[in-house]
Structure 1
Amino acid sequence: MALPVGVNVGHFFRGVPADFADTVRRIEDLGFDGLWFAEAYGSDVFTPLAYAAAVTSRIRLGTAVAQIPARTPTATATTAATLDQLSGGRVVLGLGASGPQVSEGWHGVAYPRPLARTREYVDVVRQVLARDKPLDHVGEFHQLPLRGGTGLGKPLKSSMHILRPDLPIQLGAEGPRNVALAAEIADGWHAMFFSPAFDGFYREALDAGFARRGGRPQHFEVVCTLPVVVDEDVERAADRIRPDLALYMGGMGARGTNFHHDVFARMGHGELAARVQDLYLRGEKAAAAAAIPTSLVEEVALVGPAGKLREDLARWEDTVIDSLAVQGLPADLDAVARALLA
């Protein structure tokens, strides 16, 4: 069965594209399933979704992902709930712990114990969305109301009635413990750099989490952000993917604390990942990209002519993945739609 396919725009680098509104409308008109945004330390994740909500009417709107250290859990819950109201119930709230460089360097929030922090954060978000009683939470990371301070804080309940108390929450995760946590406490897992060859590894992680929650809920969804380039020349297509892989493998995090780098090491590419990281951290970005073989690009991306893409896509369709999100805003959006949405 064909997988639903959306678009993960990511975040803006230099600025918002001039034709952004038209592109967003085009994504919906072409029949893509979802529109996802991300954030790092530039553009935020919710504002583009609100903009997209205003110019579309049907497409799902997801965060992939909203950073946990960027906002209090109550702020995240009310932002997602407000956007859900404005969009007519189209929001999927993806959350992620980020990494120590961004958490501590950009948000000033200590990073240790990210799994425990995520678990408590999701619990508070769910309490806000449930709106069944005033919020009174005493945890390791959050005290609501704050104990201490002026002493005037009191338990509060959202003054806005929540459109969907069961608004879906997904976790962005790469390591097995994080994937298991998504299966245990969330409504979905948003994957990236997923290799179909390692489907069994991820099934085990998901099953461990489902076992702790008493079984897999019917609504649980696994979304995979997937780089896609349509081009008659496979090598030319792979060349468009290599710089991003080099960035994530080599430059997204410090040496020894780069979770994307660890994904490729677990896939058996430890030596290559180390070489790419060395080159990237020395500023040799072009060499880092060139070091990535086409075979590795094809493990985690769809590249080449439309017919090849459709054939390769079958490998993802036979895995735990329930839906896909094309990475970025491809210039050949129509060609991608023809290849993947037939």
Structure 2
Amino acid sequence: MTDVARDVFLPVAAQPSVDALVEQAQQAESLGYDRAWLPESWGRNAMMVLTSIAERTSDIGLGTSITPIYSRSPALIGMSAATVQEVSDGRFRLGLGPSGPIVIENWHGVEYGNPLRRTRETIDVVRQVLAGEEVSYDGEYVDLSGFRLRSAVPDPAPSIDVAGMGPKSVELAGRFADGWHALMLTEEGLADRLADLERGAALGDRDPDDVRVTLSLTCAALEDRERARDIVRQHSAFYVGGMGTFYRDNLARQGYQEVANTVYDEWNDGDREEALAAIDDDLLDELAVAGTPEEARERLDGFAAMDGVDAVSVSFPRAATVEEIDTTIEALAPE
């Protein structure tokens, strides 16, 4: 367990300013966290925020926990990764993922289709860009030729991680990526997906130990125990019920089909209280970290001790205030 890195997953929910996110990353750096991840949804541009963080930190690793592959061209993703790697002096990891149709179609106005193939082609092109090669690619969705990165080639090239919940997406990570971002998984669910990762690594003639597994955990470590558990429960119900079918299906695959369907149905029928009530205390503790600082530290250590985990990432519920985020970052810092 001592070899397991402890990362911080900066909040995707609206923070008051870019400065607030920078300050959270600075706090994490001062407390010894290994890396600060930032997702991108329909708020701030993750690459630009990470550039600000890179300029105002010195040691902490940085990364996009997910850069949606539909909202930028693969070449632009590669250019952006090279730029952040430059300004951070080599501290950047690029996390990619398809996101979901709710965000991609309703926010970006792009048709969501064949996410596995799109992810594979994006990885291939980004690797060529970051290697400084003349990009030549004839894919199902990407057809490129004749250009290479005009600026200096990043040295080293940023590692590429993939976020995924389903068996095939995790297999893809094992076959083609340098890391996998796991989320909303019980211990048994994680074991099942690690088998998919190993199968993908075998298909790619790779050592699965070379694929970094980062487990993202929704965390609230507060003296007000009930507040901590309430906001983590609300966050979990929001994703299962309100963010399309991927999170629902992910929970169902782990043996909680009835719960997943109840949360999804009640949420979409407008009965949020019933949706939250369907996630009982035992399930909440299987998926997340919520309670007093002492309870939360013990639970986080339990997740870090799971076989196959290389890093645990302290994430935050949507309803957490800036003060509650700061408190949780401090309470769950590496010892």
Shift of 1:17: 6.5
* Contact persistence 1:237–1:303 (CA under 8 A): yes
**1:203 correspondence with 2:194:** yes
Change (3 A) 1:15 1:250: same
Gaps of 5+ in 2: 317-321
Shift of 1:214: 1.0
Whole-Å Cα distance in 1 between the matches of residues 257 and 141 of structure 2? 35
In structure 2, give the amino acid aligned to 1:341: P
* Contact persistence 1:242–1:292 (CA under 8 A): yes
Whole-Å Cα distance in 2 between the matches of residues 164 and 314 of structure 1? 36
Whole-Å Cα distance in 1 between the matches of residues 72 and 51 of structure 2? 17
Size of the aligned set, in residue pairs, is: 328
Change (3 A) 1:165 1:126: farther
Could you tell me which residue of structure 2 aligns to residue 98 of structure 1? 99
Whole-Å Cα distance in 1 between the matches of residues 190 and 298 of structure 2? 18
Per-residue deviation, residues 73-127 of structure 1 (Å, max 9, x unmatched): 0000001101100110011100001112222222232222111111111100001
Shift of 1:131: 1.0
Could you tell me which residue of structure 2 aligns to residue 269 of structure 1? 256
Gaps of 5+ in 1: 146-154
Whole-Å Cα distance in 2 between the matches of residues 209 and 43 of structure 1? 33
In the TM superposition, what are the counterparts of 1:125-136 in structure 2 within 5 Å? 125-132=126-133, 134-136=134-136
Change (3 A) 1:95 1:292: same
* Partner SS, residue 69 of structure 1: coil
Whole-Å Cα distance in 2 between the matches of residues 14 and 168 of structure 1? 28
Could you tell me which residue of structure 2 aligns to residue 290 of structure 1? 277
Could you tell me which residue of structure 1 aligns to residue 204 of structure 2? 213
Could you tell me which residue of structure 2 aligns to residue 143 of structure 1? 143
Whole-Å Cα distance in 1 between the matches of residues 96 and 106 of structure 2? 19
* Contact persistence 2:197–2:208 (CA under 8 A): no
**1:40 correspondence with 2:41:** yes
Shift of 1:18: 6.1
In structure 2, give the amino acid aligned to 1:274: N
Change (3 A) 1:35 1:282: same
**1:299 correspondence with 2:290:** no
Change (3 A) 1:200 1:56: same
Shift of 1:138: 1.3
Whole-Å Cα distance in 2 between the matches of residues 14 and 287 of structure 1? 28
Could you tell me which residue of structure 2 aligns to residue 8 of structure 1? 9
* Contact persistence 2:221–2:327 (CA under 8 A): no
* Partner SS, residue 158 of structure 1: coil
In the TM superposition, what are the counterparts of 1:1-342 in structure 2 within 5 Å? 1-2=1-2, 3-13=4-14, 15-16=16-17, 19-132=20-133, 134-145=134-145, 155-164=146-155, 166-216=157-207, 219-231=210-222, 234-253=225-244, 258-312=245-299, 313-328=301-316, 331=324, 333-334=326-327, 336-342=329-335
Shift of 1:22: 3.0
Moved more, 161-170 or 81-90: 161-170
TM-score relative to the length of structure 1: 0.89
Whole-Å Cα distance in 2 between the matches of residues 4 and 41 of structure 1? 28
Whole-Å Cα distance in 1 between the matches of residues 306 and 101 of structure 2? 34
The root-mean-square deviation of aligned C-alpha atoms, in Å, is 2.0
Whole-Å Cα distance in 2 between the matches of residues 102 and 36 of structure 1? 20
* Partner SS, residue 65 of structure 1: strand
Per-residue deviation, residues 134-166 of structure 1 (Å, max 9, x unmatched): 212111101114xxxxxxxxx011111112353
Whole-Å Cα distance in 2 between the matches of residues 286 and 63 of structure 1? 33
* Contact persistence 1:41–1:102 (CA under 8 A): yes
Change (3 A) 1:206 1:74: same
